[in-house]
Structure 1
Amino acid sequence: MGASLKDVAALAGVSVKTVSNVVTGHTYVSPPTREKVERALAVLDYRPNLSARNLRKGRTGVIALALPELDAPYFAELTRFVIVAAAERGWTVMIEQTDGDPDREREVLDGVREQRVDGLVFSPITVGPEELAARTDTTALVLLGERVLDGPTHHVAIDNQRAARELTEHLLSLGHSRIAAIGRQDNPSANTAHLRLSGYREGLEAAGLAYDEALAPPTPAYRRADGARLMRQLLDLPQPPQAVFCFNDLLALGALRTALSSGLRVPEDVAVAGWDDIEDGRYSTPTLTTVSPDKEQIAHVAVGMLEAQINGTRPSRRAAEVREVAAGYRLVVRESTGPAEPTQA
C-alpha cells in the first residue's frame, strides 16, 4: 500500500487538511509549511489516489475519443495530442472507432458502450444537427471536424473552405491554369469534401477560370489507392492537369506514385498538393505541399472545452451557450509544388 495523507501529515507534523491543501495546489499554505510537506511527500513517495478522488466528485477520470478510422495517419496524430491534453488533467482516454457507420455513431451519442465516461470528443461522419438535438445522454460533448457546423453543441474545426481556396491560389500563382481536384464526394453528409471543393471552385472562379467537373472526379474513399487510380484517370484525359489538389495527404501520396511511375516529373510536369500534413508527406520524394491543421491546438481546445463542461464553469460565457472554435492552419509549401520552403520539410 502506498503512503496516505495521514502518513505524510504525521511525518511533516501538520494536519491532514494542510497536506491536502499542498497536494491540491491551494495557495494559502505558508512557504515553510509547504516545504515541510513537500519534503515528507518526497520521502514517502506519495502518489495521489486519483480513482478515489474522482469517485468523491462523482467522476471516472475517463473521457472517450470517437473517430471514424484509427489507421488514418491524421487521426492517429490527433489522438496522440488528445491523450497528452487529457494526461495533463489526470484523465485516461478510451478510444472508439466508428468506421463512419451511422448506427455506431448513434450508439456513441447515446453512451459509449454503456461505459461511464466524464466526456466525449467525437469526430462524426453521418451524425447531423437533428441527431444531436435529440440526444438524451448528458455526458459532456465536443465535436471535431466539419460534419456539423453551427450545431447544438461545442465544436472545433479549421476553416476548410478558406484553406482550400488558399491552396488553389498557391497553385494558380505558380502559373497553373488547369488544376484538378481529387476528393469530390456527392454524398450530402460529406461536409468536409463539400467545403474543400467549394474553396477550390472559389479560387478558380476568382482567377476567371471555369469549374470543369472532369477535373474533379468522384472519390469514394480517401486512401492511397484511390489517389493513384484517380490520378491515372486524370492523366488519361485529352488535356491532363498541370496541378492536382488532393483533399488529403493519402490521396496525394497515391497520386504522386502514379505520376512518377508514368515518367512525369513532379512538380515540373505536374504539381501535387495534399491536406493534413501527416509525417509521411515530409519524407516522400518529392516532399509534399499540404495544408497543415494545427492538430495540437484542436486537441487542447477540445479537451479544455470538455473540462469546462465537466467542471460546470465557463468564465466568459453562460453555461447554456455553445462555442464554435476555429482552429489554426497553415499552408506548408514543399517540393511537390515548389518552390519549397526548406525549413518546413
Structure 2
Amino acid sequence: MSFDPSIHTIDTGFMARGDFDAAYLVVENGRAAFIDCGTGLAVPAMLAALDRAGLDVAAVDWLVLTHVHLDHAGGAGLLMQQLPHAQLVVHPRGAPHMLDPTRLIAGATEVYGAVEIARSYGPILPVPAERVVVAEDGHRVDLAGRSLLCLHTPGHARHHLCVWDARSRAWFTGDTFGLSYRELDSARGAFIVPTSSPVQFEPEALKESIARLLSYAPQAMLLTHYGRVEDVARLGADLLEQIDAMADIGRQCDGRPDRHRCLVAALTALYLERAQAHGCPLDDAAVTAVLAMDIELNAQGLACWLDRDKR
C-alpha cells in the first residue's frame, strides 16, 4: 500500500542538520493541520510547506503538539501568530507552558545553556489562552472530516501524546517511538534508539506507551527524529529491549563517582553493538558521531530517572 500523499514531511532544519527534526503537514479537502512545528527558526519552513501544498495560512485549522520540548514546540507561539484561524492542541500538562513558556525556557536553559537556546531555538512566545485546546486522552481533532486521535503516551515526557491517523494507519509519534536517522539504515531497514532525554524518562511507562501504539497495528510511524519508518513490529521490539537495557545500565552506573561518564560509555557501547548487528553502513566512529548528542541527553535523562526514583 502506498503512503498517503496528503501527509507532508517538513525538515525544520534544527541544529542546521538535515533529516534530523521533522514536523508534518496533513491536508484534507483543502484544510490543513500541522503536527509539531520545530523551533521559532523553523517558521519559514512551515510556511513554505504550506505554499508547496498550494495552501495559504488561512487554510490551517490546527497545530497539534506531541509535547512541548522546544525542538517540537518552541516555535508554536510565533507560528500561531501567522495562522489566523488555527487552534493549538496540547496535552493538559503541556498547556500551561504554551500559555506561559517561562518555565519551559528555564528548564531548557538548564539542560542546553543560554547561549545554545538563543542560537538554535529562536523566539519562544506564548499562545493566547483562547486559542489553546487541551487534549485529554482520547481527544479527537476533526480535520475537514478526517479524525486525528490523540492518546496520552507518557514515558519520554509526562505531557506527551501521539496522534493516530486511521486514514494512513500511521502514528505521529513525537519521541515516544524513539529516534531513527536515515544514515543508519541498512539492508534490514531502519535502526532505532529510544530517547530518555531529561527530565521525565520513565522506562515502564514508555514501554506501556509503545505497546499501546503497536496495539493499533500501524503500517508506519512518523517520527520527529526522523521521518517515516515501517517494519513497525521489529522496531517496537527493538525499543522495548533497549529500554530494559538502558534501565539496567542506569542501575549499574548509579552510585559511582563517575556516574555520568559510566552512563555515556555504556550507552555508546550498547548502541554500537546493536548498530553492528543491524549492519549499519557507518563505522563505529561515524555511528557515535551521529548519535553523540542523543547519547549525552539519554545519559542525563537516565540520571534524572535514577535520582527521582530515590526520592
TM-score, with structure 2 as normaliser? 0.25
User: Which is higher, the Rg of structure 1 or of structure 2?
Assistant: 1
TM-score, with structure 1 as normaliser? 0.23
